[in-house]
Amino acid sequence: MTREKKGTLLPPPRAAATQSRWRSVGALMLHAIAVAVLLKTAFELYQHFTAGENPSASLVKCLQVDPLVPSQQSPALFEMEQYLRTDKFRDETVERLAGAVHIPTQTFDDLGAVGEDSRWDTMFELADYLKSTFPLVHSSLTLEKVNTHGLLYTWKGADPSMRPTVLMAHQDVVPVAESTIEQWTHPPFSGFYDGKYVWGRGSSDCKNTLIGILESVELLIEAGFEPKRTVVLSFGFDEEIQGNQGAGHLSQVLVDRYGKDGAAVLVDEGGGFADSWGTTFALPGVAEKGAIDVELIVRMPGGHSSIPPAHSGIGVASELITLIEANPYEPRFHAENPFLGLLECANAYSPKFPSSLKKHLPWKEPSCPAKKDKLAIEAAKYGDSIKYLFTTSLAVDIIGGGVKTNALPERTRVVVNHRVNVGEKVSTVQAKIAHLAHTVATKHNLTLQAFTDEPEIPSSIKLIAKETLEPAPVTPTTVEGVTPYGVLSGTTRALYGESMLIAPALMTGNTDTRYYWDLTKHIFRYGPGYDPELGFDLGGIHTVNEKVSVVAHTRLVQWYSLFIRNMDEAKLA
């Protein structure tokens, strides 16, 4: 029997109750199936991510900011931007750079004190050249000379609450050995321009940066730009010989003036651009490896060479060298190493990123602590230039001993240079080399003096730590909110286009920034000039035929002019 209600056929009461129960059961079953599907999907995604087969996880870790263009414009600033793209500007900046290259501001390891050794005097010539070449800089900025040759320019901003932007370069260059002069295509201090490159010592390390920074400030002043955020230019003069006379003094002045973490950002020479597995990345250096030179002194009895012992001091030193070189450091990633960030970016964006590396990404899962070690071993196979981004290096660079062919050497000296991996300590190197030296000392019945202050004694091996430097603090690379890394990235993409990606990089060497760690946490070692035709090109730094692409140099000036303005507008967290 049925009932009708508003034209709808209804089931009997018992049948309706039964159907209602089945509907509830069916709904629960469908819900359970949906949950199971979701769990299965989540598990599959997790498997993909932990296997490194899906770049989505890396995309999250390699966020790219939008191109950043200054919002404040004027007819004069617009005219300046157009002028920077002209042949006229190119020719004028080439002339200014060449003029700086002409001045041989070489620094030597055996230089005496500033004011006493006349070889420092070339710095006076360069300072005079800069004054005559950039008149607006010298009339509008305050110039202080620190320790005679350090040049500290301050462009005071209107808002004292804004922490300053600090831009750096060094005035000195690596010496040119007399024996190599004939090997140069163009004389090493000629500044010769062949239509594509400016040639000469310092053209790419780093008088191009020195001139480029001053060029950008000169043009901004001419265009009527008045900063709200103070801009500081800090130019050392002995970076190539550790920098303690120049940057060592300049940094102290700035820390005293602005306080610890008193600067918003610091940009110095450093990383550039590279093609990584089919994708071009800009690579600002956000960290540096540490360093320690270990001096090994072997003291052995002398005597006539006609009655030699089984092993002379040179022989024992050689045995220790062989043992040291036979025990290199293993490749190892620590979580703070910025090269991991580049690998994540390449995994996310590079079409040719190798599966041999992909399967070890991401590497942060607590359940897979060994992933970093496997990744390091695999990545090291791509060559030494890659391996030493996450491996402590050692190099035996100096050896000397003996004074005469018929006299046994009483004192043999060896110096071993180490560059300490990010995440490791100088003390790790000391402990390892002391252990190896103990083995040799015991074998030859010598006393080991490992990193003590006691004087040398006969029949001994003494280890001395020289020029020690821990790995640098790692600069934050977050782009959440307005950050210095975000401003640097946005400026770069504004200049080169959105196809240019940004990834953090690591410096295997050390720059003048080693003295500025207290001034700011936001230190970038970055050469922003890029020539797409050349790709990554070191420009022959520290060797014959040093040169710089003029396209790269003009882009460098454009970048600094944009960066100063973008930082001026940045409301940093």
Q: Which residues are annotated as a binding site for Zn(2+)?
A: 170, 205, 240, 268, 542
Q: How many CB atoms lie within 10 A of CB 379?
A: 23
* 222 is a catalytic site residue: no
List, edge to edge, every strand of the sheet that includes 279-282: 273-276, 279-282, 501-502
Of the candidates 573, 406, 561, which has an alpha carbon nearest to the alpha carbon of residue 494?
561
CA-CA-CA-CA dihedral for 512, 515, 518, 522, to nearest 10: 10
Distance CA 307, CA 321 (A): 25
Distance CA 460, CA 335 (A): 40
* Distance of alpha carbon 425 from the chain centroid: 18
Task: Considering only CA atoms, give the Rg of the chain.
Answer: 31
Give residues with Cβ within 8 angstroms of 432, minimum separation 6: 327, 329
Q: Which of 172, 238, 424, 546 is an active site residue?
A: 172
Distance CA 490, CA 464 (A): 46
Contact assessment for residue 154 and residue 142, using Cβ atoms and an 8 Å cutoff: yes
Distance CA 209, CA 100 (A): 11
* Distance of alpha carbon 532 from the chain centroid: 21
* 239 is a catalytic site residue: yes
Phi, psi of 411 (to 5 degrees): -145, 120
Q: Which residues are annotated as a binding site?
A: 170, 205, 240, 268, 542
The number of residues in the chain equals: 573
Q: Which of 215, 238, 239, 546 is an active site residue?
A: 239
Report the catalytic residues.
172, 239
